[in-house]
Structure 1
Amino acid sequence: MKFDRFAAIDWSGAAGARQKGIALATCVAGEDAPELVRPGHIWSRREVLDWMLALEGDWLIGLDLSPSLAFADKGAFFPGWARSPADVRGLWALVEDIASDEPHLGANRFVDHPEASRHFRRHGGRCGDLFPPGAGRFRVVEDASREQGLCNPYSNFNLVGAAQVGKSSLTGMRLFHRIGGKLPIWPYDPVPERGPVVIEIYTSIAATAAGLPRGRTKIRDPQTLDRALAALGSRAHAPLGRYDDHATDALLAAAWLRAVAHDRALWSPAKLTPELARTEGWTFGVR
């Protein structure tokens, strides 16, 4: 498929109706710099959902969150729980069912569930008895990204610390539950010949591809942003009102998607099996 429009969404699992941590950037095929959608706006998760569902054309849409949890290591998302789903769509449905009355696509009620909570490390020193010693469980793609030197992933079962991604991933599962069947989500769905496609991304992979050192991928000034964009074949950006890493992550990731979307190897990772494609999924950019 040949994409001509690209979007990157820096997601947030924070509580509340609107999240300052959400940023959305787009660009078109060619060299024009990516731009923020509604710069200065504080997005809600539902607004992002509505924006995605309204898209027309050949879009590649990258979401900076993990749509799934580790499965392959134990043969289950939640070993020992009778409600543990057999695939990712069942996981999205389970999170939605338990957290359905929580506003703003929140997922706290899911991690507070008596059975689910046994698998998570939560704030206040609360660590479930089935959360393994150490860093927690990892998906196959997360181990692969570490082996390839792309990033230092955190377990999605870990909900503690500034670098954790578990909260954003769980709220993202409620988003994916709503776009499932309406927009194809790779690799859970095949890539169509035309129309929008949604993928999982790590913005840090885009940053390292642009030449930023691993572990220091956050950009908070215009000069560094322009150097990184240039490394990805993009023109300089229009000045921003504020340079926070949510906005710059989204801008850089959009330019990166445009630069690498044609790479066939990224669509056929060596370790992506049919079983993983229906359970754990994959992060675009990991080979």
Structure 2
Amino acid sequence: MIRPFTEFVAIDWSGQAVARPKGLAVARTTTGDAAPELVVPEGGWSRGAILDWLIGLADTGTRALIGLDLSPAFPFIDEGAYFPGWEASPPDAKSLWALVEAISSDDPHLGVGSFVAHPQAKRHFRQRFDCGDLFPAGRGRFRKVEHGQADMALSPYSCFNLVGASQVGKSSLTGMRVFHRLAGRIPFWPFDPVPDAGPLLVEIYTALPARLAGLRKGVSKIRDGETLDRALAAFGSAPHRPLARYDDHATDALLTAAWLRRAAEQEALWRPAGLDAHVARTEGWTFGVV
């Protein structure tokens, strides 16, 4: 039995190569039915500022379930490696995080330009005007959990695809730099066991709460207060405090924080059928995919 969490945080992430990406948003709520609220620092969020904020949660021992909207690892199960043919291809997710950090350590703003330009790594990515020779035909490679996402009528993208508004590869890579720096401070399920105290990180897919709240595929983005309140109510949340501006990033974070509060209590979500020790060590899992 998992010791209950007292706070629930959803972070909409961004891989944009600037100091303060517009796509970063953080929402936070507590037990009960109070609506989640945005956490907005003066000057806005940077990836480094979110890293520092997470370290603060660890230092205070806050019992928070923290969801990040990105993929914490690349496909591994399908080919038996993240980067087949590259002798430096890591054996597990934590080694992958270390490799991304090592190659990108000089990139500003926790960016990953050096990694995606690396002569061996770039062979596996589809980038604008430069598709690697090892990027397979079609939509690219997928993790086991991403096949599970598709089975739930969601629309996953390959982490090796770095092209288009919906690509998640750059977000995932920048997140890996954060996870490497958080090592030992905040465990990340399922790479780490769920702790009895303190915060825990999980991967989220914000389209899943939207779908569970009744928003149809293709119209799952919320851009007004009335729709947001209707969706929040599906998870037993009180109406939100009106926002100065409604955008996908803020509303995704708010709705997902409310969903996390309810989802954390569902024991089946912590024991998905497709998750075994090998998957947990190499690819990870999206919380909520069963």
Fold-level match, TM-score > 0.5? yes
Residue of structure 1 in register with 2:112 after alignment: 107
Distance 1:225 1:199 in 2: 23
Show structure 1 runs of 4+ deviating over 6 A: none
Which digits, 9 at most, give the CA deviation of each residue in 1:80-122, with x for residues without a partner? Answer: 0000000001100111111110011000110100000000000
- Residue 37 of structure 2 corresponds to 35
Does 2:90 correspond to 1:79? no
Which of 96, 100, 120 is equivalent to 1:95?
A: 100
Equivalent residue for 1:238? 241
Q: 1:273 aligns with which of 271, 276, 281?
A: 276
The Cα shift of 1:148 comes to 2.2
Structure 1, residues 34-83: CA drift from partner, whole Å, max 9, x if none?
A: 00002775210000001011013210000001110000000000000000
The one-letter code matched in structure 2 to 1:48 is I
1:215: how far off? 2.6
Q: 1:23 aligns with which of 25, 44, 58?
A: 25
Pick one of 146, 164, 170 that aligns with 1:161.
Answer: 164
Which of 141, 158, 167 lines up with 2:145 in the alignment? Answer: 141
Alpha-carbon RMSD: 0.9
User: Which amino acid in structure 2 is aligned with residue 88 of structure 1?
Assistant: A
Letter of the 2:81 counterpart:
A
Long gaps (5+) in structure 2: none
Aligned-residue offset at 1:209: 1.1
For structure 1, the residue ranges without an aligned partner over 5 or more in a row are none
SS in 1 for 2:228: helix
Mapping 1:188-207, distance limit 5 Å: 188-207=191-210
Matches within 5 A, 1:217-228: 217-228=220-231
SS at match of 1:90: helix
Which residue of 2 is the match for residue 126 of structure 1? 130
The two structures have a TM-score, normalised by structure 1, of: 0.98
d(CA) in 1 for partners of 2:272, 2:217: 22
* Amino acid across the alignment from 1:285: G
Q: C-alpha displacement at 1:231, in angstroms?
A: 0.8
1:181 Cα deviation after fit:
1.2
Distance (whole Å) between structure 2 residues aligned to residue 147 and residue 245 of structure 1: 24
Q: Distance in 2 between matches of 1:281 and 1:96?
A: 19
SS in structure 1 of the partner of residue 29 of structure 2: strand
- Look up the equivalent residue of 1:157 and give its one-letter code: F
CA–CA distance in 1 between the matches of 2:187 and 2:207?
24
Q: Does 1:174 align with 2:177?
A: yes
Say how many residue pairs are matched.
285
Distance 1:210 1:195 in 2: 29
SS state at 1:167 partner: helix
- Opposite residue 55 of structure 2, the aligned amino acid is L
